[in-house]
Each structure stands twice: as C-alpha cells, then as structure tokens.
C-alpha cells in the first residue's frame, strides 16, 4: 500500500511546511487519537523531543489534536527516541510520540509514533492513520491562528526512570575510564554525560550545547572524524558519537579509528555467541552491511540475514526469527533483550561492557573486520517511483553486476525519509566501485534528477 506521508521512520519534512505545517500536525493528533480510541488502548500518550527549535510547538500541536479526541498528553521534554520507546512500553501509555528528524539538519523535523509495545507502528496502521489524517485535514483550521496550542508542561522525572533502567542493563563500572562523547548538540547532550559519569567514567564532552539550530551541525554520528581528533588528543579509551535523537552510535577507538555499526555487530555477536546468548546463531542487518561483516561472521559460524534499510525492518525480522542482535551500519544497533529500537546510549554501555570483560579495546575487538571498498552516492530526485523501471538505469546496474562477477554488490533504492535516490556500490576492486557508483548515479540523475 502506498503511503504519502509516512516514510521508514515516521513523518519527516521541513518544520512549518507540509506535512509539518500546523494544520497537518493537528490533524495527525486527531487521527492518532481516533486510532487509539478505536483500539481501546487507554487515554494517555507520552511525548519526547530533540533539541530543534521547532520541536516544542510540533509536540504541543499534536497534543492539541489528541486532546480534541479526549486523549491526555504527558511530556518528557528533551529525551532520546529510545527513551520514549522504553517509557511507552513500561508506562501507562497507549502510544509514544517522538518529535525528531534524527540526523537531519535543524530546519527539518519529524514525528515518530510508537505503540504501547514500544515498537514503531506497523505499515498497515500508519496507512490507516494517514488516510484519516488526510480526511480530517481538509476541515481543520490553522490551530495557531485560533490561539492554540498552549505549552506542554515537562515532567522531569520521566527521563530519570529511563536512565535508571539503562544503568541496570550492565554490571560493570567505568571507574577511571576516560570517554569522549560527541552528543551532536542533540537529545543526548545532557543525558549522555550524566549516564556515563554516574558509572564512574571521566567524560570529555563535545557538541553538548544545543541552541535549537546546531543539532547535527558538523558533529555527531554523521561526522565522527571530529571526535577522532578529540579521542587521540585527550587520551580517551573510547569515543562515542550520537545522532540528533541518539538512536544510533558511532564509535572511535583509542587510536582514533572509526568503528561503525558493522564493527559493533561483529564484536557483540562474537561476545553473545561465546556467552551462549546468540539465539539461533544469527545476526540481522540490512542490504547496506559491508561484505566484510558477512565474511567475518561466517568465519565465526554466525549467520547474517539482510533486510531493507531501516531499523524498523531489522526489528521486524529479528522478531520473526527470535534473533537477539541486529542493526545497521549507520549505528542503529538493537539488543532485543533490552530494547525495542536502536539505542545509542544502550549500545555504548554494551560495547564498553564487552570491552571491559574481555580486556580488549575496540581496535582488537574488530581487528579481523576487512572492510570492502564501498561508495554511497545520493541523487536528489523529482519523484520517488519507478527507479528500476527505467531501462537505462537497469542496464547500467546489470553492467556493473556482470563486471563484479560475484565479487561485489550494487544496491539502488530510494531514501525513506528524503527525496533522494541512493546508490551503493561495493567490491574488492576499488576502481570498479568508484567507476560504477559514478556511472549509475549519472544515469539516475539524467532519468529522474530534480
């Protein structure tokens, strides 16, 4: 079923513009309220937000729409996306709503919805809500012009519950360990340093001073090279970079080497298998996972299953297979025994626990991960349909696959959150990777470019 507004991670766009204009946001609240009432799931919804200047008014506007349907809203203030998921699952909430555009710049924002289970809503339920939203929007006046909504009062004890839970997931201390945290000027800016200091770590923070407009700005999980310099310069044992809503984490080793989600999955899978905790002996990742991860896991007799991009789809496959470990190269790692979504701070705790128990650093834990050359090219497109229906695009992909002859991969897809086509080419021959990524991107730009 085609969805107009919901992508792979909720609704996302430029704050103040469709579909994040006040009328549509209010109608979303009404539609969500109708869905909650129809399914008899209770009368409270939890809200959380990242640090964007638009987050508060978007949260308040969704809440106003919910109130129109008799649903009460409670607000945790600035908190991580996985924090909202955990609180929703473990509290009296029919649903959870996170206001965030994750790794996007501050001008963008988004609305992510969780059911009481703590899982993101299934596509079918998002479709139902979207259809009701579009119907309601036609008769919805601008709520801001009508003097609505007011401010949502923040209940500061809610994030305390989440931090206490995170501390309970590990049984090691970090006394005398120096950590460097790049909080991306986002949702982890206060919670991240507080969490690790409470476990005894000496924390060096960078980009932990949000001003509403500097979230993800040349920092965080998308720019770990800056953190690498901090780690080496301060002699930190580890570095962790979070994205805007802290559902992903990218690591830096003591030597300044960047370790992405593939490296984390390898280290965790090996540790979980050794402890007898890797149910089914399988890790779930996406089509973007490097071939090097697949080969390293094979050497450990650990299977790997690939899904479409999106931690939502990783989690669905994990549930289907009863797998306990999965994630994405981008840093979304799901420890299903502990969480229902990617959680950057939980991932950091688990990585540090593995390192402390093994007596090894990140360099040693991932030393056998051979990373195949991989090139990702983004092309802005005028519409997101018919990508592989263009003969010229299909021919160029086929030419690349025939040239690699099994020693490489081509993944071409639309972004689930932006008007982009993404081309990923990977293989042992770096020259071919560069050449084919450029040629496929050029054909897509010619056929579909904005």
What 3-state DSSP class applies to 13?
Answer: strand
User: Taking residues 276-297, what's their average pLDDT?
Assistant: 95
User: Taking residues 252-267, what's their average pLDDT?
Assistant: 98
Are 87 and 46 in contact by the 8 Å Cβ rule? The answer is: yes
Are 40 and 92 in contact by the 8 Å Cβ rule? The answer is: no
pLDDT of residue 412: 94
- CB half-sphere exposure, 278, CA atoms < 13 A: 23
Is residue 157 packed enough to be buried (19+ CB in 10 Å), middle (13-18) or exposed (0-12)? exposed
Tell how far CA 211 is from the center of its chain. 22
Is residue 308 packed enough to be buried (19+ CB in 10 Å), middle (13-18) or exposed (0-12)? middle
C-alpha span between 183 and 357 (Å, rounded):
26
pLDDT tens digit string along 156-182?
899 999 999 999 999 999 999 999 999
What 3-state DSSP class applies to 352?
Answer: helix
Strand pairing class (44-49; 95-99): parallel
pLDDT of residue 132: 96
Catalytic residue among 55, 73, 102, 330: 102
Residue 330 in this model has a pLDDT that exceeds 80: yes
pLDDT tens digit string along 352-400?
999 999 999 999 999 999 999 999 999 999 988 888 889 999 999 999 9
Whether residue 285 lies in the annotated active site: no
C-alpha span between 178 and 239 (Å, rounded):
9
What 3-state DSSP class applies to 30?
Answer: helix
pTM of the model: 0.90
Structural domains in the chain, sorted by start: 6-158 (3.40.120.10), 173-257 (3.40.120.10), 259-365 (3.40.120.10), 374-448 (3.30.310.50)
Confidence bin at 9 (pLDDT 50/70/90): confident
pLDDT of residue 416: 76
pLDDT tens digit string along 86-127?
999 999 999 999 999 999 999 999 999 999 999 999 889 999
Average pLDDT, rounded, for the chain? 94
Cβ within 8 Å of residue 21, ≥6 positions away? none
Residue 1 in this model has a pLDDT that exceeds 70: no
Confidence bin at 148 (pLDDT 50/70/90): low
User: Taking residues 54-74, what's their average pLDDT?
Assistant: 95
């Amino acid at each position: 079923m085609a969805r107009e507004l919901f992508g792979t991670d909720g609704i996302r766009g430029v704050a103040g513009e469709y579909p994040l204009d006040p009328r549509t946001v209010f109608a979303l609240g009404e539609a969500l309220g109708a869905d909650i009432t129809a399914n008899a799931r209770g009368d409270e919804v939890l809200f959380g937000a990242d640090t964007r200047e638009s987050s508060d008014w978007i949260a308040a506007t969704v809440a106003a729409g919910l109130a129109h349907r008799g649903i009460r809203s409670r607000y945790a203030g600035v908190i991580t996306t996985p924090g909202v998921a955990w609180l929703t699952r473990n509290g009296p909430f029919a649903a959870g709503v996170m206001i965030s555009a994750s790794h996007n710049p501050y001008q963008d924002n988004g609305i992510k919805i969780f059911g009481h289970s703590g899982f993101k809503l299934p596509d079918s339920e998002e479709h139902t809500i979207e259809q009701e939203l579009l119907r309601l929007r036609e008769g919805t006046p601008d709520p801001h012009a009508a003097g609505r909504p007011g401010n949502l009062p923040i209940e500061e004890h809610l994030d305390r519950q989440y931090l206490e839970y995170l501390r309970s997931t590990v049984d090691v201390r970090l006394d005398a360990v120096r950590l460097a945290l790049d909080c991306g000027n986002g949702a982890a800016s206060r919670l991240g340093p507080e969490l690790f200091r409470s476990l005894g770590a000496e924390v060096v923070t960078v980009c932990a001073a949000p001003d509403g407009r500097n979230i993800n700005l040349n920092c965080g999980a998308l720019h770990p090279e800056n953190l690498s310099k901090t780690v080496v310069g301060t002699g930190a044992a580890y570095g962790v970079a979070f994205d805007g809503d802290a559902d992903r984490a990218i690591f830096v080793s003591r030597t300044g080497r960047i370790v992405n989600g593939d490296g984390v999955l390898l280290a965790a899978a090996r540790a979980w298998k050794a402890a007898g905790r890797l149910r089914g002996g399988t890790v779930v990742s996406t089509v973007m996972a490097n071939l090097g991860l697949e080969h390293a896991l094979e050497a450990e007799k650990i299977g790997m299953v690939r899904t479409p991009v999106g931690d939502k789809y990783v989690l669905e496959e994990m549930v289907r297979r009863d797998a306990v470990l999965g994630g994405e190269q981008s840093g979304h790692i799901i420890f299903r025994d502990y969480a229902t979504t990617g959680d950057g701070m939980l991932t950091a705790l688990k990585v540090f626990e593995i390192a402390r128990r093994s007596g090894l650093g990140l360099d040693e834990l991932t030393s056998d991960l051979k990373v195949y050359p991989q090139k990702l090219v983004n092309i802005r497109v005028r519409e997101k349909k018919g990508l592989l229906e263009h003969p010229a695009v299909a021919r160029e992909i086929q030419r690349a696959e025939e040239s690699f002859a099994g020693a490489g991969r081509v993944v071409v897809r639309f972004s689930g959150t932006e008007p982009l086509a993404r081309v990923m080419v990977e293989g042992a021959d770096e020259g071919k990777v560069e050449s084919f990524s450029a040629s496929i991107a050029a054909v897509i730009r010619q056929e579909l470019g904005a």
